[in-house]
Structure 1
Amino acid sequence: MSGSSLYNAIMTERPTALILTAPGINCDEELCEAFTLAGANPIRVHIKQLVENPERLDEADLIGLPGGFSYGDAVAAGRIAAQVIRAHLWDGLRRAIERGVPMIAPCNGFQIAVQAGLLPGPDPDADLTDTPPSPRVALVDNESARFIDRWVRVEYPTDTICIWTRGLEPEPGGAMLPIAHGEGRFMSGGQLDSLQDSGRVAVRYAADDDPNGSEGAVAGICDASGLILGLMPHPERYTRWTQHPSWTRHGLDQLEGDPPGLAMFRNAVAWVRSHKSAAMQA
Structure 2
Amino acid sequence: MINPSQFYQHPLMNYVLLGRELWMEVLQMVVKVAILTGFGINCDRETAAVFEMVGAESERIHVNRFVNGEKKLSDFHIMAVPGGFSFGDHLGSGRLMGNRLRFGMREQVREFIQNGGLAIGICNGFQVLVKMGLLPGDDEISLTQTASLALNDSGHYEDRWVTLEFDTNSHCVWTKGIERIRVPVRHGEGKFVTTDPNLLDHWAANGQIVVKYVDPNDPYPSSSDELLKYPLSPNASMRNIAGVCDPTGRVFGLMPHPEANHSTWLGATWTRELKPTEHGEGEGLALFRNAVDYVEKKPKKKMTPPRKFYYGIICTFISLIIFNLGNASGDLDYFFSAWILSLIIFTVGLIVEYNHLRRHKAHRLKIGEVPFKENIFTFITLIGFGLVIFCLLLITVIFTGNFDIIGH
**Which category of TM-score, normalised to the shorter sequence, fits these structures?**
0.7 to 0.9
Query: How far apart are 1:55 and its partner, in Å?
Result: 5.3
Q: Which residue of 2 aligns with 1:177?
A: 183
2:99 to 83, 90, 94: 83
| 1:19-30 alignment runs, 5 A limit | 19-30=35-46
1:229 to 247, 252, 263: 252
Quick check: 1:107–1:232 contact (8 Å CA) kept in 2?
A: yes
**Does 2:197 align with 1:197?**
no
**Does 2:73 align with 1:57?**
yes
Q: What residue identity is the alignment partner of 2:136? A: P
Runs of 4+ in structure 1 off by over 3 angstroms are: 8-13, 249-252, 255-258
Q: What residue identity is the alignment partner of 1:36? A: E
2:165 to 155, 163, 177: 155
Quick check: 1:58–1:92 contact (8 Å CA) kept in 2?
A: yes
How much identity, in percent, do the aligned residues show? 36
Q: CA offsets per residue over residues 67-124 of structure 1, 9 Å max, x none?
A: 00001011110111111112110100111101111111000001100111111110xx
Q: Which residue of 2 aligns with 1:101?
A: 117
Equivalent pairs counted in the alignment come to 261
Q: Which residue of 2 aligns with 1:167?
A: 177
Q: Which residue of 1 aligns with 2:192?
A: 186
Which of structures 1 and 2 has the larger relative contact order (alpha carbons within 8 angstroms, sep 6+)? 1
Instruction: Using structure 1 for the length normalisation, give the TM-score.
Output: 0.87
Quick check: 1:11–1:273 contact (8 Å CA) kept in 2?
A: no
Query: How far apart are 1:147 and its partner, in Å?
Result: 0.1
Query: How far apart are 1:261 and its partner, in Å?
Result: 1.2
Instruction: Name the CA distance, whole Å, in 1 between partners of 2:160 and 2:174.
Output: 22
Query: How far apart are 1:240 and its partner, in Å?
Result: 0.7
Q: What residue identity is the alignment partner of 1:198? A: N
SS of residue paired to 2:293: helix
Query: How far apart are 1:197 and its partner, in Å?
Result: 1.0
Distance 1:72 1:205, change over 3 A: same
Query: How far apart are 1:160 and its partner, in Å?
Result: 1.6
**Does 2:43 align with 1:35?**
no
Q: Which residue of 2 aligns with 1:128?
A: 141
SS of residue paired to 2:51: helix
Mark the runs of 5 or more structure 2 residues left unpaired by the alignment: 1-23, 216-227, 303-408
Query: How far apart are 1:251 and its partner, in Å?
Result: 5.1
Quick check: 1:19–1:44 contact (8 Å CA) kept in 2?
A: yes
Instruction: Name the CA distance, whole Å, in 2 between partners of 1:116 and 1:165.
Output: 22
Query: How far apart are 1:259 and its partner, in Å?
Result: 2.4
Aligned-pair Cα RMSD in Å: 2.1
Q: What residue identity is the alignment partner of 1:71? A: F
Q: Which residue of 2 aligns with 1:242?
A: 265
Instruction: Name the CA distance, whole Å, in 2 between partners of 1:161 and 1:46.
Output: 31
Instruction: Using structure 2 for the length normalisation, give the TM-score.
Output: 0.61
Query: How far apart are 1:167 and its partner, in Å?
Result: 0.6
Quick check: 2:211–2:244 contact (8 Å CA) kept in 1?
A: yes
SS of residue paired to 1:67: coil
Distance 1:142 1:11, change over 3 A: farther
Distance 1:164 1:10, change over 3 A: farther
